[in-house]
C-alpha cells in the first residue's frame, strides 16, 4: 500500500475524530488512522461520558480556552450529528466547613473562567435537588453547564460525518513511524504496518501513545504514563439515582470519584485515579473498587454493589512533566503537529479541532472551504427509543426491526446490520456493543452474544470462528462442534 494525503491524523479517539470532521470542511485529502479494530481510540471510549464546561481549568490556560467554548457549542454539534446530550448539571458536595471554603475557591476560579452561572447551595437546597444525598452534607455548588453524552456515539458520529465528507479512515492500522526529510527538516511520509503514506502534515493525536510517535520524529521532551480509573456500572431506574452529576472535592490527580447518570439510564460511579506503568493494563481489582464504593457512599449512602451490572477500567494519559495542553506545530520539523497532553479530551475537542485548523493555515496549508460540506449525520433509529407507533412503522418498513436480538437493551437485527455496514463499520462483538448496547444489559451478552456473532459472520461473509470480541486474537469460537 502506497498512498498520499495532505494531512494524516494519528488516533481516532475524541480529539482525532473531531479534527477529522473539522478538516472535512476543506478541499483536502485527509486520512484518519487508528491502530485498534474500531474507532474510539483507547482512552476516550472508557470514561464517564461527561462534557465539562471548563470551570475548573487553570485560568488563562489553553485547556480553559479550549473547553469553555467547546461546551457552549455542543448543543449545535450534537443537533447536527443526531447525538443525544443532556445538560444535567453537576453538584459539588461539601462534607464539612473546610470543604465549604474549598467550594468557594472553586466558585471564584469558575468566575475567572467565564462560568458565571455557577451557584452556591445550602444544605437544604442540595437535599431538595437530590434527596438521596447524605444527610451529613453541609452545602454544595451547582455547575449548570456540565452535561452527559454517549461518548462512543459522539466519536462515531464525528467519524461518519467526516467520511461522508471525504475523509478516508483506516482502522487496525498501526503507525510505526513518521519519516522526516533530514535536509529540509519536514515531514515526508508515515510508515504503517500496511505500507507508507506520503504526506505533508501529520497530526499526532495518539493520546497515551503520543510519546512513542513523537520519538520517531526525534522530538519528544515528555513521557506519557497510564492513569487507570476503575468504574462500577449500576443498573437503571434505581431509587437513589441522582438527576445531577454528584462530585466530591477534586483531588490533585483528578476530579475525584463521581456519581454520574448516563444518557442510557445506567449510573456510573468512579473513577479511581492510580498512576501506573503498563499502558495495556485494564484489569480491575477489589481494593480499588472497594475504595470507589466507599467514597461514593459518603455522598449517596444507599449505593448498593448488588445493583452493579459490570465493572471496567479505563486508561487515560498523564503527561510528565505536567504541562498545559500541547496543541502546537513544531519549529524543528515542518508539518509535524501535536495535540497531546489533553485531559477531558471529549470536552475540549471541538476547540482543539478549530485551533488545529488555524495552525495548519499558519503553517502554509491551503485551506479552501467546501461549498458542498454537509454538517449533518443521522443516527441509526433505535428500537428502544421508539414509541409504539414508531415501532409499528419501522417494522412495516423493515421487518428485521421486529426481530429483537438483545432483550436487555431492546436491540433489533436491523440495527445490528446497519451498524455493520455504515461508516467505518462494526467488525467485532464489542464494536456492536459500543454502537448499540447489545450485551450491555443485566445478562452481559449471555443471551444475545451468539446471535450477534452469527449476524456478524453472515454479513461480513466470514466463518463464525473468525469473529472477535475486539482485537485479533480474541476470537470467541474455537471450532465447529456439531452440525
Which pLDDT tens digit goes with each residue over 318-333? Answer: 888 888 899 999 989 9
C-alpha 284/C-alpha 406 separation (Å) is: 26
CA 214 to chain centre: 23
Q: Is 152 part of any domain?
A: yes
Q: How confident is the model at residue 44 (pLDDT cuts 50, 70, 90)?
A: confident
> Which residues lie below 8 Å from residue 351, measured CB to CB, with a gap of 6+?
65, 66, 67, 68, 69, 70
- Note the pLDDT of residue 253: 66
- Note the pLDDT of residue 256: 86
CB atoms within 10 A of CB 462: 12
CATH number of the domain encompassing residue 201: 3.50.50.60
- Note the pLDDT of residue 48: 85
Bridge-partner residues for 228, per DSSP? 274, 315
Q: Which of 379, 399, 415 is the last residue of a domain?
A: 379
Percentage helix, strand, coil for the chain under 3-state DSSP, each rounded to 5: 35, 25, 40
Which pLDDT tens digit goes with each residue over 427-461? Answer: 999 999 999 999 999 899 999 999 999 999 999 99
- Note the pLDDT of residue 462: 96
Q: Is 482 part of any domain?
A: no
CATH number of the domain encompassing residue 284: 3.30.9.10
Answer whether residue 254 shows pLDDT above 80: no
Q: Are residues 282 and 235 part of one domain?
A: yes
Answer whether residue 478 shows pLDDT above 90: no
Q: Are residues 394 and 257 part of one domain?
A: no
Written as one string, the DSSP assignment of 255-295 is: S--EEEE-TTS-EEEE---EE-S-TT-----HHHHHHHHHH
Q: Is 174 part of any domain?
A: yes
Assign residue 364 a region: left if phi > 0, alpha if psi is -120 to 50, beta otherwise?
Answer: left
C-alpha 39/C-alpha 210 separation (Å) is: 17
Q: Which of 310, 343, 363 is the last residue of a domain?
A: 310
Helices 14-23 & 151-164 angle (0-180, nearest 10): 30
Bridge-partner residues for 234, per DSSP? 267, 308
Q: Is the dihedral of CA 40, 42, 45, 49 positive or negative?
A: negative
C-alpha 72/C-alpha 69 separation (Å) is: 5
Q: Is 37 part of any domain?
A: yes
Q: Are residues 217 and 300 part of one domain?
A: no
Q: Are residues 231 and 125 part of one domain?
A: yes
Q: Are residues 178 and 94 part of one domain?
A: no
Give the three-state DSSP class for 55: coil
Q: Are residues 289 and 162 part of one domain?
A: no
- Note the pLDDT of residue 359: 98
Which pLDDT tens digit goes with each residue over 163-176? Answer: 999 999 999 999 99
Q: Are residues 375 and 247 part of one domain?
A: no
Dig out the grid coordinates for 216 from the structure. 520517531
- Note the pLDDT of residue 45: 75
C-alpha 289/C-alpha 231 separation (Å) is: 7
Answer whether residue 123 shows pLDDT above 90: yes
Bridge-partner residues for 223, per DSSP? 320
Bridge-partner residues for 257, per DSSP? none
C-alpha 315/C-alpha 273 separation (Å) is: 9
Q: Which of 258, 278, 310 is the last residue of a domain?
A: 310
Helices 449-460 & 429-436 angle (0-180, nearest 10): 110
* Residue reference for cell 438521596: 132
| Backbone dihedral angles phi then psi of residue 196, each to the nearest 5 degrees | -95, 150
Q: Are residues 152 and 137 part of one domain?
A: no
Q: Are residues 388 and 306 part of one domain?
A: no
Q: How confident is the model at residue 344 (pLDDT cuts 50, 70, 90)?
A: confident
Which pLDDT tens digit goes with each residue over 149-197? Answer: 999 999 999 999 999 999 999 999 999 999 999 999 999 999 999 999 9
Q: How confident is the model at residue 92 (pLDDT cuts 50, 70, 90)?
A: very high
* Cis status of the peptide bond prior to 321, with omega within 30 of 0: yes
Q: Is 471 part of any domain?
A: no
CATH number of the domain encompassing residue 391: 1.10.10
Give the mean model confidence (pLDDT) for residues 73-102: 97
Nearest to 416 by CA among 391, 399, 397, 435: 435
Which pLDDT tens digit goes with each residue over 8-23? Answer: 999 999 999 999 999 9
Answer whether residue 258 shows pLDDT above 80: yes
Can you give the pTM of this predicted structure? 0.96
Q: Are residues 299 and 210 part of one domain?
A: no
Q: Is 47 part of any domain?
A: yes
Q: Are residues 296 and 156 part of one domain?
A: no
- Percent of the chain at pLDDT > 70 equals 99
**Total domains in the fold of the chain:** 3
Question: Which DSSP symbol is given to 468?
Answer: B
Domain that holds residue 24: 1-84+148-222+323-379
C-alpha 311/C-alpha 232 separation (Å) is: 5
Q: Is 300 part of any domain?
A: yes
Q: Are residues 169 and 78 part of one domain?
A: yes
Which pLDDT tens digit goes with each residue over 198-242? Answer: 999 999 999 999 999 999 999 999 999 999 999 999 999 999 999
Written as one string, the DSSP assignment of 163-181 is: HHTT-EEE-S--EEEEEEE
Written as one string, the DSSP assignment of 178-247 is: EEEETTTTEEEEEEETTEEEEEEEEEE--GGGHHHHHHHHT----EEEEEEEEEEEE-SS-TT--SSEEE
Q: Is 474 part of any domain?
A: no
Amino acid at each position: 500500500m502506497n498512498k498520499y494525503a495532505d494531512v494524516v491524523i494519528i488516533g481516532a479517539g475524541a480529539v482525532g475524530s473531531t479534527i477529522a470532521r473539522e478538516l472535512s470542511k476543506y478541499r483536502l485529502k485527509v486520512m484518519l488512522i487508528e491502530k485498534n479494530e474500531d474507532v474510539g481510540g483507547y482512552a476516550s471510549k472508557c470514561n464517564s461520558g461527561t462534557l465539562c464546561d471548563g470551570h475548573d481549568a487553570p485560568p488563562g490556560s489553553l485547556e480553559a480556552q479550549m473547553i469553555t467554548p467547546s461546551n457552549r457549542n455542543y448543543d449545535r454539534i450534537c443537533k447536527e450529528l443526531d447525538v443525544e446530550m443532556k445538560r444535567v448539571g453537576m453538584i459539588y458536595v461539601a462534607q464539612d466547613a473546610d470543604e465549604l471554603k474549598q467550594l468557594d475557591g472553586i466558585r471564584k476560579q469558575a468566575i475567572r473562567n467565564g462560568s458565571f452561572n455557577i451557584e452556591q447551595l445550602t444544605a437544604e437546597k442540595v437535599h431538595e435537588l437530590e434527596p438521596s444525598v447524605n444527610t451529613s452534607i453541609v452545602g454544595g455548588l451547582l455547575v449548570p453547564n456540565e452535561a452527559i453524552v454517549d461518548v462512543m456515539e459522539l466519536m462515531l458520529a464525528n467519524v461518519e460525518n467526516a467520511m461522508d465528507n471525504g475523509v478516508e479512515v483506516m482502522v487496525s492500522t498501526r503507525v510505526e513511524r513518521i519519516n522526516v526529510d533530514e535536509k529540509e527538516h519536514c515531514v515526508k511520509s508515515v510508515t504503517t504496518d500496511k505500507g507508507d503514506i506520503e504526506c505533508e502534515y501529520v497530526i499526532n493525536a495518539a493520546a497515551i501513545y503520543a510519546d512513542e510517535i513523537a520519538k520517531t520524529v526525534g522530538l519528544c521532551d515528555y513521557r506519557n504514563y497510564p492513569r487507570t480509573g476503575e468504574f462500577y456500572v449500576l443498573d437503571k431506574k434505581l431509587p437513589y439515582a441522582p438527576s445531577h452529576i454528584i462530585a466530591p472535592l477534586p483531588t490533585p490527580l483528578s476530579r475525584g470519584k463521581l456519581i454520574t447518570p448516563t444518557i442510557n439510564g445506567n449510573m456510573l460511579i468512579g473513577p479511581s485515579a492510580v498512576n501506573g506503568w503498563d499502558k495495556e493494563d485494564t484489569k480491575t481489582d477489589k481494593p480499588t473498587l472497594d475504595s470507589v464504593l466507599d467514597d461514593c457512599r459518603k455522598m449517596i449512602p444507599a449505593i448498593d454493589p448488588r445493583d452493579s451490572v459490570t465493572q471496567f477500567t479505563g486508561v487515560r494519559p498523564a503527561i510528565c512533566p505536567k504541562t498545559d495542553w500541547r496543541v502546537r506545530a513544531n519549529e524543528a520539523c515542518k508539518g509535524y503537529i501535536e495535540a497531546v497532553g489533553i485531559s477531558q479530551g471529549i470536552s475540549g475537542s471541538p476547540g482543539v479541532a478549530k485551533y488545529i485548523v488555524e495552525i495548519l493555515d499558519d503553517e502554509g496549508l491551503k485551506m479552501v472551504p467546501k461549498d458542498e460540506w454537509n454538517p449533518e449525520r443521522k443516527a441509526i433509529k433505535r428500537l428502544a427509543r421508539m414509541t409504539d407507533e414508531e415501532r409499528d412503522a419501522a417494522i412495516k418498513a423493515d421487518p428485521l426491526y421486529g426481530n429483537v436480538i438483545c432483550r436487555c437493551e431492546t436491540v433489533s437485527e436491523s440495527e445490528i446490520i446497519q451498524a455493520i455496514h455504515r461508516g467505518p463499520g462494526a467488525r467485532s462483538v464489542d464494536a456492536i456493543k459500543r454502537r448499540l448496547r447489545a450485551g450491555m444489559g443485566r445478562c452481559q451478552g449471555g443471551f444475545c452474544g451468539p446471535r450477534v456473532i452469527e449476524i456478524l459472520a453472515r454479513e461480513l461473509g466470514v466463518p463464525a470462528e473468525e469473529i472477535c470480541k475486539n482485537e485479533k486474537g480474541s476470537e470467541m469460537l474455537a471450532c465447529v462442534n456439531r452440525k
